[in-house]
A and B are shown apart, each in its own frame.
Chain A
Amino acid sequence: MPTVELRFSAQPEHVRTARLVAAAVARRAGVDEAVLDEVRLAVGEACSRAVGLHRSHDITAPVTVVLIEEEKAFSIEVGDAVPGPGDNTSLPGRFRGAGGGPETDADSEDEMGLAVISGLVDDVEVRSATDGGVIRMSWPTTPAVVAP
């Protein structure tokens, strides 16, 4: 199970790097060329969201991106370090519930990002634990051809 792991400080300028790395690893893993745009966009959305969460919660820990090459699938896990209730509630909900305040721009951007991810990726799972949240996305891969 070859894996590439990326950790970056929660700065918007690093999200592009994460997109490029994810697309490169996905291509190598055998994700269809036509789907690479979706991988790039989905991982960008997940990372932007994580960066926003870290910044709004003053968290200095890095955002993590794990790219997992499996036999018939390619998975990406984008992790944030924002503590949730640990009961797998949906992520936007946990923050609005915790803050008790009205919906902010950050909330709606967060939801727009998740809307794009769920519109793009068939196989997506959003988890929340006391030590942070994870968005896991998977795509099928075609059998590897000989790499150039």
Chain B
Amino acid sequence: MDLSLSTRNVSGPGGDRTVVEVGGEIDVYTAPKLREQLVELVNDGSYHLVVDMEGVDFLDSTGLGVLVGGLKRVRAHEGSLRLVCNQERILKIFRITGLTKVFPIHTTVDEAVAATD
């Protein structure tokens, strides 16, 4: 299954958030598309991103690298990158790489959009 991407803007208590809904497999082949999308959003001035990973079937270290790259970019603009994920097999990859300490991970998009810390 290929990667699917869609974005929408949502207003939260902390201001506008851009929700990036990701579906399918994020691997060495598809990760560049996600990278392009995140770079484009930041270049267009969207510095507060919520990446919804509920539709993701597979994530590898290339995908992690893209998310870390996205985080670096938004932080350069004092922005934020929050993840939405409840899938144990995806969460496990964040845990074994220590990235649960780097990314705020939420259980719902609403919760991620509402977060202001």
Contacts and interface: CB of A to CB of B under 8 A. Distances in A.
Interface of A: 12-13, 15-16, 19, 37, 40-41, 44-45, 47-48, 51-52, 105, 108-109, 112-113, 115-116, 119-120
A45 B97 contact: no
B58 A120 contact: no
B60 A16 contact: no
Interface in B70-117: 89, 93, 96-97
B97 A48 contact: no
Interface of B: 25, 27-29, 58, 60-62, 64-65, 89, 93, 96-97
Contacts of A52: 28
B46 to A, nearest CB: 23
Contact of A109 (B25, B61, B89, B96): B61
A44 B97 CA distance: 16
Given A15-B27, A16-B27, A109 B62 contact: yes
Nearest to A44: B60
Most buried by A among B28, B58, B65, B89: B28
Contacts of B64: 112, 116
21 contacts: A13-B29, A15-B28, A16-B25, A37-B89, A41-B93, A44-B27, A44-B28, A44-B58, A48-B27, A48-B61, A52-B28, A109-B62, A112-B61, A112-B64, A112-B65, A113-B61, A113-B62, A116-B64, A116-B93, A119-B96, A120-B96
